[in-house]
Structure formats: C-alpha cells, structure tokens
Structure 1
Amino acid sequence: MPANSIPRRMDSSGSGSETNGNDGALSSSPGASSLRERTDSESSDKQTRFILPSADGSPPKVLTMDEVVDVVKNIQNMTLVHEIALNPEFKLKPYEPPEDSLERRIRDVMHKAFWDVLREQLSQDPPCFNHAIQLLADIKECFPQIIPANNKRLLDHINEVLDVTVIQQQAEQGVLDFNSYANFVIGIMAKSCAPIRDEEIRKLQEIDDVVDTFRGILETMTVMKLDMANCLLEFARNDLVANSVEYEKEKFKEYLEYYKFGFPATENWLKRSQSQSQDSNGVVSTPDQVIFNAYMDLLDWNEADEFPEILSIDKDRILKLSSRALRLCAAACTIAISSSIPIISQRTENRVALAQEIEVLLQSVANNSDLENTMENVSLHVQTVIKSRLQEENSPPLDAVIENTLKSQILQIGKKDSPVRSLMWKRLQTYFRLVLRSKSGMPPPPPGYVDFKGELETLATAFKRLLTYNYSVFGEYYVKVLTDSEHKNDEKPTDNSTTATVDKDQAGESPKTSPTDDTIAANGPDTNTST
C-alpha cells in the first residue's frame, strides 16, 4: 500500500471522510488550480531566508523556509517513532475536534449543509445527482486507502464500476440507480473490513434511507482507514523499533546542526548529579554513574528545577511513572505500619486484601500534596478494616493508645520526612537500581513490597525501558556535557582543594557502543554512589 494512501488526519465521526471528500472536490475544481498557481507564484516563502543565530561564536546559519519546515518535521517524526518504540500499545487514534471549539462548530455546520443539499437534490423531480456523483467519486478515491495495493484485481473492478463518466451518463439519461451503487460499495466494504467492523457493515445494510446509508458508509470508511493504518503500523513495528534508536540519534544530530544554544536545563540536571556523585575524597564518579544517578532523580523530581529539555518528549511519561512510584511507596508504607497489628500481619488474606484496597484509595494521587490530603481517608479505612476483622474473630478492640499511634504514623506517610516513608523510598530506589543493572530476570521484591509485586515489576520494567532507550539515543551527548564540564573545572585554578580529573584517553569521548539494556547492566553506573 502506498505510503501516501494513509490519511493525514482521521476523524471517528465520519465527518473526516466527508471533509476529505470536500477537499477532493475543491482540489478538482477549476478555480482551485488557479488559486494554487497564484499562491505558489506570489508566495515569498520559497525565497525567504532565515538567519539562525549561533551561541558558540560560530557564523550564523542561514535557512530557507523549506529547511525550517524540515527541522520541524524531523522533530515530529522523531516524536512518533519514539512513541512507537516505547509504547507497545501505541495505535493511531481518530481525530475529533474539541467539544465546543470553533473547528467543531464549523465542521458540523458544513457537514450538515452537505447532507441537507444532497437530500434536497435527490428529492427534486427529476432528481439532481451533482452531489451524488461527487460523493461516489470521493468514495472511489477512499478505496485504495482501505484495500491493499496488491489486490489490484479488486481495485480495478471498483474503478470500473465507479467510473464517474459512466455514472454521469446514467444521470443524464435518467437511469442512475443511486441505491444500487450504495449496495455495491457496502458489499466491497464487507469483503475488505476487519472482523471488528462486521457489525457496523450489517447495520449499514439495514438502513433504508439512501442519504443516511451513504453517510454511514463514509463514517465506516473512516474507521476502516484507521484500521488499515494501524495494521500497516503493526507490520512495520518490529522494523521501526529495531531502527528507532539510530533514527533518533541521526535526527538529533541533524537538529544540533541548526540549534547551537545548548540545553541549559539538561546540563544543570547532569551537573547537579555530578556534584552529588562524589565520594568522601571528592572524587567524581564516572560519566555513566553520574547519568545513572541523574536518572534516579527523575523518580522524585523537584518541581523547583526546570525539567531537562531533552527529556521533554517523555516528561508526561516520566511524571506518571513518578506518581506511580509515589503511590506504590505510600501503599507499602501503610501496609508496613498496619502490620504492627497481629490481625493484619498474621493473616495473609487480611494483609493482601488491605493492600489491594489501599491501592484503590491512592489511585487519584499524583503528587505529594494529593498524598497528604488522601492519607486521612487511608487511615480511616485501615482502622475500619482492623476493627471489622477483630470483630469477625471475636477479639477485643484495639487499645486507644495503639489506635492513635497507628493513625498518627499513617498520617505521617503524607510527609516526605516521615521515617517510614524515607526507608521505604530508599528500598524502592535500591530495587530500581538492581533492575536497571540486571541483565535478565527481576530481583525479588524488597521488604514491605511483597504484596505489591505485580505493580512493582511493571513499574520497574517501564522505567528501565524508558531510561535504556533514552541513554541509547542521548548517552553520547550526556557524556560530552559531563566531560566538557570536568574540563572546565580542571582549567580553573584551585587552592588547597582536590580537583577530580578525567582520564585523558576518555575525556571528550562518546560511548563506543550503542547502549542497550545489557549496556546499562554491564557498563552502567555503580549503584553504591551517593545520591
């Protein structure tokens, strides 16, 4: 199937197909050609040059509009490939304008007008088929987008039946049977659609009104285009993922050719980690170790710091992982504290059930503020569960002092300086470090996280996939930033201070291999560095 046969924007309501149809009508109209010619000839974009200043003292770069567009397109393409590589569930989704937006209102008005005109023309005596013929022509153009190009025989048959010249002659002779064309189109769609669309095709066959039938045809064709695009994407996924790292690295290098200002937030993020990754003698860790520790900082990002620009493409993903880590830690803390009560610690079924209920209560927590506000409800729920379980076993209720202590400790989980939370967070970080350095398999859950093994492993796997991919693409740039920073520090005069030096053979070098999961595991940073 030709690449240009996939629609550039898809609409789930069927109006996307209608819009495409109208676009086709406009592009074939007599005025459209002259409009394009006038636009091309009068536009100054092709001649305009843009000067991109340089921040490193080199001469400024002169770009044409086409080159600017190419830079933007490269970033957009890189974003798409990046998403496909990191998200196994990625699929193209139908486009729908926001509710109450101007675009939505204009679209709805135009589409309603189109169908109203079609209905009015078909109701005339004799019927007017101008809109109907154009509609059939648009439908004919849609078929190559939902039928593989290698099915040439079927496509030729469609072109033969939906020959606009023949249809026009039938209309002029008053023998055009619009319903028969609808049945033909539905029949072809039934043979070509995915099984999931069989029910929609069946409903089309039950519609009596011809205008409603064609409207339904366009709506169904729109989702069939989406099905075909996702099918092609699935077939190409393995190749895309296999080549995505090199593709992104190449596009990033191309971007750096135009953009010489650097990435200050990224550099500050790495340098903060570099300054924190020193041993007691002031010896700085290797670049890989520094990068590793910088990655770990992402799990508990300080909102006062600007987020690294290079990671902006994954910012939402990282913040969601961070929120999941926060919820997981809070849930583990709650179970650890609740396990001081024998009815919880000595009854596995009670502990497991409580752990699942706490996970549900914490689902809406996205940050520390949310957590602090939610812990009151968590505390009340824990007390209710304990009271209920004690009653079931005819055991005496909790002593008031123990109950108050339990409540106080659970509420403290909402504060970052909680001793229990600090301990459980360190255990979580240690587990993540082990996962990142592991070549295969998952390490056992740390103490306190056994009841959350599923979420723990899923979260750690997602975090590892993200960081491994990011390191593979940008690791060379990160190492360059760190080695350049060390060179600058070496050049500064020191007075009775120990200055970390960089091995001359490694200074300024980039990693010689393309990092993978095994690279981080085998050559990654030492987790015994201070953070």
Structure 2
Amino acid sequence: MSQEDDVSKEKARTESSEERDLGVGSSKKRRHEESAPIDFASTSSDDIHYHFPSWVAGGSPAQYVAPRELLAMATALENLELIHEIAVDENFKIPDVPTNPIEKAVKENMYKAFFDLLREDLAKQPPVYTNLLSHIMEIKMLILNDLLLPSHQRLREQIETMFDEERIKESLLEENFDFKQVAGQIIDILLRMCAPARDERIHELRKESDPIKILSGLFEMIELMKNDLTNYQLSKNRAEIENYSARYELREFQKLYTEYPDGPPKVREWICESYELMEKVEKTEEQEIQAKRERRDNEIDEQLLIDVTSKGFVTLVQSENPDPFPETLSLDRGRISRLSEKFLQIIITASSVLVTCGVAGRQIAESEDFKTTLKNHLIVIANDIDEKNLVEKLEAMGEQCAKEAHDTASKVDVVWDEDKTKAVKHQISALADEDNPVRAIVFKRVSEFVESILRSPTMVPNRLLPGLSIVQNELFAFTAKYLRLCEHNRRSYNSLYYEILYKIADDIVVEAASVSATVDAEEVKQDLDEVAEEAEGEFFDGSSNDAASSEDPQDVGLPDLL
C-alpha cells in the first residue's frame, strides 16, 4: 500500500471522528442528540461544550470584536471626555507635568533610556552620531510642525536652511560638527517664540555644557511651548470649542440610545418628575386642568423648557445620590457629586451661623465681624462634608460656634453660661435632621436662589433672601460653576429635552382631558337620573300632559338624550 493511500485513510478516519464529535453522524444518533438535554452543569475547561445544536445557538454566525474596534471606541470616549472637560471648565489647561503618576513615571523612564543610549553612542571610539543626527532632525520637525504658524514663512525658511540634513551629515563625517553652535541656534529660535514666563528656563539651558542635558532640555522646552500654544488656542477659540462639543456630544449620545424612541429612560423620568414639580403650584383643580388645556393649544415655549430643566438641575445637587440621574449628564456625575457636597456645605454653614446668632442674642450677633469670622471657620470645618460624616462635622462645628460665641461675649460684656453652650451644641447637632426648621428654611432659600439663576442668568436678584447674605460669596461661586455646566448641557441636549417634555406634557393633557370627560359624563348622568325621576313621578301621578303622552317614547328616550 502506498504512502498516499495511508494518508488518505488516516484523513478519512480523522474526519469521521470529527463528525461524530460534532454530532453529524448517523441520522439515528442525530435525532437522539437533538432530543436529549444539554448538560451545562460543568464549568471546567475540559468539560465545556464548545459546539451547540443550531436550535440552541441559532443560525447567526459568531460575532467578533476586533481589537482595533475596541481601541476606536476607547479613543472616541476619551476624546468625548476631553472635549467635554474643555467646554465645561473655563480654566481648563494642558498641564506642564502629567497629572497621572503612572504616565509621569513611564515618560521619565522612556526619556532616561532614550538619552542613556545616546550617551553610550557618543562615548564610543569613534563616536556614533546616527542617533544624534536623528534627534536634531526631530527637533527641527517639531519646531516646524508644532510651533510655527502659517504666517511664520520667513522663519520657516531660515530653519530649513540652518538645519539642512545633508549639510549636518557632511560636517559629522568630516568631524567638524559643532554641537554647541547648533544647540545655540535652536535656543535662539525658541527664545524668539516662547512666552515670557519661559525665558528664565531657556537662559539656564544656554549655560548648560553637557550635550545630553542640552538635548533633553530642548525636548522638554519644546513640549512646554506646545502646551503654551495649545492653551492659548483653547482660550482664543473657546466659544467655537463649546459649540462643537455640544454638537459632538449630542451626536455620540444619539448613537448610544437609538433604541429608545421615547428618549433615554432616566432622562425621561428626570424630565417627568421635574415637570410634575413645576405643576405643584397653588391652584384649584379646575384652574390646573384649564392651564393644561391652554398649554396644549400653544406649543411648549422655551421658557417652560428652561423652567423644567432648571428645576431638574437643582434636584441633582440637593442630595448625594440623586435618582433618577439623567444619562445626558453621565460625564458630569463626579463633578455634580462634588457640587452636591458644596451645596450641603453652604446649607449647613448658613444654618449653623443662624442657630448660633439666635442663641447668642442680638448684641453678640451684631458685633463686628462675628458672623463673617464664624462663617470662615465653619466653611473650613465643613470643607469635605457629606451625609456620612455629617454628624461628626456638626459636632466639630458646634464646638467652634460655642467657642466663638463665648469669646465674643467676653469682649462685649455679655454673660455667657454653660446652658447657652449646651444650647448651641444641641441645636447645631439637630441640623443633621433634614426636617430641622432652620435647615429646611435655608435649604428652600438656597434652592430657590440657584433655580432663579438657572432660569434667568442675566436677571440676578437685587438682594439675597434673609439668612443667605453671610454665605453669599460661596453661594455665588457655587451657582456660577453649576450654571456653566447646566448651560453647556442645555446647549447639547435641549432638542432632546424638548421632544421628551412635549410628549410628557401631551400625555398629561390627554389624561386630564379624559378625567374632565369622565367628570362631565357623571354630571350628565346625574341630570338624566333627575329628569327620569321627575318623569316617573309625573307618570304615576297622572300629571303628564296629553302632548307628552301622545309622543313616541323613542323620541324622549335616554339613548336620544345621551
């Protein structure tokens, strides 16, 4: 038997064995396997069933996710987060040093290895200049591509001539290359282009004599100048960046939530709750229904949308873990969480000052700088306050309030006893309860102030409500920061909010109309019952007139009346 026949038989046996393993043997065995249950109990790698019948797995081909697709998704998300951060944070700047410690360590180690290799090349006999030449050419290209503007045409030509690669190669081969001269020329160019704040660093680089340190310093200076140029462009084109960010965020968001025709569930729930809060005004039921009917006749105006979203934005900072939290603000969840801490800090601080002044009395409360000094100390104590450490913070704030009230009392000759100290501490500890009267009043007034600014940013109230003036600086700073975030969110998603609000308002109007129709039907039924009773009485009393009795009953029956 030939070797080819042996190979053919072996191949046939292998294929037959694979067919048996895959369940494609005889029809009898196939029917048995299709009717038998599949054992999923085992989880060991040796016992896992890798092949399922088509009635389990379905006929669709296996779906693969390429690594480049995952990288593209990650890059898109990073770009979205970056451009959103630039749009929301008016003070955003590219830092000179990486803020991520891992990134910083990797960069430093790469630079070290990079220049250690260059030092070894230059220390050889004869020296190897290949890497040195590539570094000089890289510096040249960085200046041309990353630092020069299109208007710098003359300087571009000078650099091209000054650092011609062929000329530098020739001087290296002839061993008459002067590195310090070339480095000095590069430093002169950078000095002409850099910001004044970088001049001192460049002058220090000019004094350096070690070629490796000079090259390292040049690369570092170019990176700093690139950051300066980027930050300048960001500040110069911030309005365009914000508009682009709004369009980009909405486009990417719509890609993720195309399967929700009524809008993302949390956004819809958030808008719905905010709308219902807006509707909770002191009206009679008839006025409310009438208002809804009128609203249906008129399209939802921009002010209603602003009012509803303003109410919704305020609810997000009123608690640590707001629910629902709209998907449209997912990128800002951490920022809103930090703002909610500041919101609580303002409320607790203002409440503590009010409580202390109430217990201490007018003479202490109106003494010079008492409220301001007390507020400044309490703000520091409550700097990282949250619901978890609220009781602990209030204890420390109570101690501080009692101490400052006691010290001020001694200055203004007011008697301060232990009972007042206990009263201050007790009442401030009671602020842990959300329903505490003082805290509730301050909470309501702060919320109303923030909401009024979000509704009409240009119409700032002339004065704050009583009790808030002591924390006005903190309240203004908080509101300004939150306003910027909310304005950008509106710029991005107002069209989505409008569609959702229109559907919600329409549903409520239809429901109100249905309720109104039911009420009208009940009233008609009552009237008809009264008419029927009167007719029945007249019939049995024999008081009906001849004309009525001669009419066809169908003409006066209930079906025709209805």
TM over 0.5: yes
Report Cα offsets for 1:478-510 as digits up to 9, x if no partner: 1212332455567779986899xxxxxxxxxxx
Shift of the 186–363 alpha-carbon distance from structure 1 to 2, 3 Å rule, reads same
CA positional deviation for 1:315: 2.2
- Equivalent positions of 1:105-184 (< 5 A) are 107-144=107-144, 145-184=146-185
Q: Give the match for residue 378 of structure 2.
A: 358
Q: 2:553 aligns to what?
A: none
Q: What is aligned with 1:430?
A: 448
- For 1:126 and 1:76, locate their aligned partners in 2 and report how far apart those are by CA, in whole Å: 47
Whole-Å Cα distance in 2 between the matches of residues 109 and 431 of structure 1?
A: 52
Q: Tell me which amino acid in the other structure corresponds to 2:379.
A: E
- Could you tell me how far 1:374 is from its partner in structure 2? 0.8
When structure 1 is superposed on structure 2, of 387-396 and 327-336 the one drifting more is 387-396
Structure 2: distance between partners of 1:110 and 1:437 = 52
* TM-score scaled by length of structure 1: 0.73
Residues 430-456 of structure 1: CA deviation (Å, up to 9, x unaligned): 222332344635211211111222222
Name the CA distance, whole Å, in 2 between partners of 1:464 and 1:275.
Answer: 22
Please give the alpha-carbon distance, in whole angstroms, between the structure 1 residues aligned to 2:166 and 2:389: 66
Cα distance in 2, alignment partners of residues 112 and 64 from structure 1:
34
**What's 1:206 paired with?**
207
Mapped to 2, the partners of 1:98 and 1:236 lie a distance apart of: 27
The structure-2 alpha-carbon separation of the partners of 1:163 and 1:89, relative to structure 1 and needing over 3 Å to count, comes to same
Paired residues of 1:344 and 1:351 also in contact (CA < 8 A): no
TM-score, reference length from structure 2: 0.69
Q: CA RMSD in A?
A: 3.3
Q: Measure, in 2, the Cα distance between the counterparts of 1:129 and 1:368.
A: 64
Change (3 A) 1:79 1:120: closer
Moved more, 74-83 or 159-168: 74-83
Structure 2: 5+ residue stretches without partners: 1-64, 519-562
Deviations 1:261-313 (A, max 9, x none): 33222122122233444346365697624333222211214626252110112
2:401: which partner in 1? 382
2:86 corresponds in structure 1 to: 84
Question: In the alignment, what sits opposite 1:505?
Answer: none
Contact 1:435/1:442 (8 A) holds in 2 = yes
Per the alignment, residue 410 of structure 2 pairs with 391
Match of 2:473 in 1: 454
Offset of residue 470 of structure 1: 2.2
How far apart, CA to CA, are the structure 1 residues paired with 2:489 and 2:182? 53
Aligned letter for 1:325?
F
Residues 1:355 and 1:107: Cα distance change in structure 2 (over 3 Å): closer
| Aligned residue pair count | 431
Q: 1:196 Cα shift?
A: 0.7
Query: For each residue in 1:16-62, what CA deviation from the matched residue of structure 2 results, as whole angstroms up to 9, or x when unmatched?
Result: xxxxxxxxxxxxxxxxxxxxxxxxxxxxxxxxxxxxxxxxxxxxxxx
Deviation string for 1:397-417 (max 9, x for gaps)? x23322212111111223322
Distance in 1 (alpha carbons) for counterparts of 2:225 and 2:98: 16
Query: Any idea what SS the aligned residue of 1:463 has?
Result: helix
Equivalent residues in 2 for 1:35-74, closer than 5 Å: none
* Higher helix fraction (1 or 2): 2
Structure 1 runs not aligned, ≥5 long: 1-62, 500-531
1:468 to 464, 469, 487: 487
Tell me if the contact between 2:183 and 2:214 (Cα under 8 Å) persists in the aligned partners: yes
2:248 and 2:490 map into 1 onto residues whose CA distance is 14
* 1:252 maps to amino acid: L
Residue aligning to 2:439? 421
Opposite residue 378 of structure 2, the aligned amino acid is I
Residue 215 of structure 2 aligns to a residue whose secondary structure is helix
Equivalents in 2 of 1:175, 1:498: separation in Å?
100
| 1:402 corresponds to | 420
Segment of structure 1 superposing worse, 480-489 or 370-379: 480-489
8 Å Cα contact 1:74/1:251 also seen in 2: no
Residue 364 of structure 2 corresponds to 344
Q: 2:502 aligns with which of 483, 487, 499?
A: 483
Q: 1:368–1:415: 8 Å Cα contact kept in structure 2?
A: no
Task: Say whether 1:319 aligns with 2:321.
Answer: no
Structure 1 112/309 Cα, relative in aligned 2: closer, same or farther at 3 Å? same
Q: Distance in 2 between matches of 1:77 and 1:393?
A: 60
CA contact (8 A) 1:84 1:90 kept: yes
Residue 272 of structure 2: aligned partner = 271
SS for the counterpart of 2:464 is coil
Q: Name which one, 1 or 2, has greater alpha-carbon Rg.
A: 2
Tell which has more relative contact order, 1 or 2 (C-alpha 8 A, sep 6+): 1
